[in-house]
Structure 1
Amino acid sequence: MPTLSRIYVYPVKSLSGFQVTQWPVDEKGLLYDRKWMLIDRDRQFLSQRRLPQMALVKTWIDADRLILSAPGRRDLILPLTASSSETIEVTVWHDQCRAETCGAEADAWLSEFLQTDCRLVYQAAEDRRQVDLNYATVADQTAFSDGFPFLLVSEGSLTALNQAMQLDYDMVRFRPNLVVSGCDSYAEDRWRRVSINGIGFRLPKPCSRCPVPTIDPETAISGKEPLATLSRLRKWQNKVYFGQNALHDKSGSLAVGQSVQIDEIGEPQPPLP
């Protein structure tokens, strides 16, 4: 039976995430996942697409603290609940969201390292960001993710891609939340519903990939892979796909080693030959 083999949390959108062995799930996904975000002067979100060096900022959650670290910088330590009274409107793709600022110290730390004027914000408690209703129900929501609370990828898919590239890329390149072992490569293309520890997941849409996986997370230097090989093997309607977006039906907890029950399968998505 397929098994949950890795769990990744990304507290700050597009910064480095961290791996855990167990983690709570709330109504928006993994607890604290993409709860923080960087914005520019126009209050538009920032990501590695625009600033590859964001990959070099490491994140960690320790007890009641969010810790950011970067080469040549002292650690930035922030509370897990925003202490600012300033609430502003920010933009994530086409969504307008309410966010709380995290203070001048955080803004200066990140602006200096990234060499761009930016601010760190936290999703306001009252903000409810609806997942695209073309793929979700009115109950589905997310924090500052690109669009879905979870991204699921199988170990077998990465193995197959690495073999095709003749490289040995780590899963962190693809920024999944849930990694599954014990299944064939790209088996997740056919999964529509799965259950892990009593939490039901729906997989309504494959994940189209932007250039972020071409960025080496240790150096922030970009290359041609994996997009070159994905364009050859996993292209459909002018986009390339790797992994499946997922929605969850309730809160709970997840732990590495838990069984992944396949509840419903369908035609492959994307519909590749």
Structure 2
Amino acid sequence: MFVHPMKSARGIAYDRAYASLQGLLHDREWLLVTPQGQFLTARDYPRMLLIEMDLIPGGMLIKAPGQNPIMAMTQVYQQSVATAVWKDAFTALHGDPHVDAWFSNYMGIACQLLWLGMKSTRTLVHSDIPLSFADGYPYLLINQASLEALNQDLATPVGLRHFRPNLVVTDALPYEEDDWSVIRIGEIEFEVAKPCTRCQMTTVNPDTGEFAEDNEPMRTLIRTRQLPEGICFGVNLVARSEGVLETGAKIEIIASRYSF
């Protein structure tokens, strides 16, 4: 399991985490934006992948290359401001100018840090389920066997972190997840909303923050993973219940899209 506290920043691996309808606890609850509220991601600023955010009581400890660590405390974030992620317009909370200056110095552009708040004002499309700063769905699942199959087609293998999943499953067939409709992991049931479409962000090396010169793995995905939804790898999930997830939990396929 991986929690990414800030959109496009480095994730944290967990063996045990609380899974809510909104996503894993603390996943994508911070967002970096321009002063006009335009969200920033590693698609345009790949060095964002080198930013580390560690959970501390009441906030986050933030670290990045060449910067002294700084703390962002949620109690400071009280000013409601307008922002958006893709086509979703909503409000989030702005607060600490010292943190803004820290990020502006690292990014080389004026920017601000926003906090989602205790309750998100954004909801999943056509639903009242709260949504974090994630692209469009609360969970992203990757099948380890699918990653291994992809790496057989690559001159230089890539890792899970290239795809920024929340959940990773093993002991499945390669790309078996394409057929899943409803699954249960431990005691929590998930609806498989759709295959996850991919972009150039997969070509950024998460250890260096640099784009791959050979455009991999995107070049291979374009050739091998063209689905009706687009170029896909992994699947987006919506939880039907809440509870604690632990690594090693059994996965059950409750329903599939196709029957033979």
Identify the TM-score tier after normalising by the shorter chain. Answer: over 0.9
Partner SS for 1:124? coil
1:163 aligns with 2:156: no
In structure 1, C-alpha distance between the alignment counterparts of 2:120 and 2:131, rounded to whole Å = 10
1:95 aligns with 2:88: yes
Q: For 2:177 and 2:79, locate their aligned partners in 1 and report how far apart those are by CA, in whole Å.
A: 42
Structure number with higher relative contact order (C-alpha < 8 Å, ≥ 6 residues apart): 1
Question: In the alignment, is residue 218 of structure 1 matched against residue 207 of structure 2?
Answer: yes
1:110 to 93, 103, 115: 103
CA deviation profile, 1:76-125 (whole Å, cap 9, x unmatched): 2223x342331111111111121111311110111101111100001133
Equivalent residue for 1:236, pick from 221, 224, 227? 227
Which amino acid in 2 is paired with 1:239? Answer: G
Query: Which shows bigger deviation, 165-174 or 178-187?
Result: 165-174
Secondary structure of the 1:141 match is coil
2:117 is matched with 124
- Larger displacement relative to structure 2 (68-77 or 241-250): 68-77
Q: Match of 1:56? A: 50
Structure 1 alignment gaps of length 5 or more: 1-6, 269-273
What amino acid is aligned across from residue 115 of structure 2 in structure 1? Y
Residue pair 1:206, 1:242 contacting (<8 A) in 2 also: yes
Match of 2:173 in 1: 184
Percent identical among aligned pairs is 32
Are the counterparts in 2 of residues 89 and 98 from structure 1 also a CA contact under 8 Å? Answer: yes
d(CA) in 1 for partners of 2:131, 2:18 = 15
* 2:254 equivalent to 1:260: no
Question: Does the 8 Å contact 1:82/1:100 carry over to 2?
Answer: no
Aligned to 2:239: 248
Distance 1:82 1:159 in 2: 43
1:78 is aligned, of 52, 72, 78, to: 72
Q: Distance in 1 between matches of 2:52 and 2:176?
A: 31
What letter is aligned with 1:115? G
**CA displacement, residues 54-79 of structure 1 (integer Å, 9 cap, x when unaligned):** 11111221444412111121112223
Aligned residue type for 1:259: K
What SS class does the counterpart of residue 172 from structure 1 fall into?
helix
Aligned to 1:22: 16
Which deviations, in whole Å up to 9, do the C-alpha atoms of 1:153-199 show, x marking residues without a partner? 11001000011113221100100000000111111111111111211
TM-score by length of 2: 0.94
Partner of 1:3: none
User: RMSD between aligned alpha carbons?
Assistant: 1.6
> 1:198 matched to which residue of 2?
187
Deviation for aligned residue 1:37 = 0.1
Structure 2, gaps ≥5 residues long: none
- Write the distance in 2 (CA, Å) between the matches of 1:166 and 1:189: 25
Supply the AA of the counterpart residue of 1:89: A
Give, in angstroms, the shift of residue 236 of structure 1.
3.0
2:246 partner amino acid = A
Question: Does residue 144 of the first structure (1) align with residue 133 of the second (2)?
Answer: yes
Instruction: After superposition, give the CA deviation of every residue in 1:14-60 in whole Å (9 maximum; x if it has no partner).
Output: 11111111111223110111111011122011101111111111122
Please tell me the residue identity of whatever aligns with 2:189: G
Tell me what 1:43 maps to: 37
Cα distance in 1 for partners of 2:169, 2:228 equals: 27
- Residue identity opposite 1:8 in structure 2: F
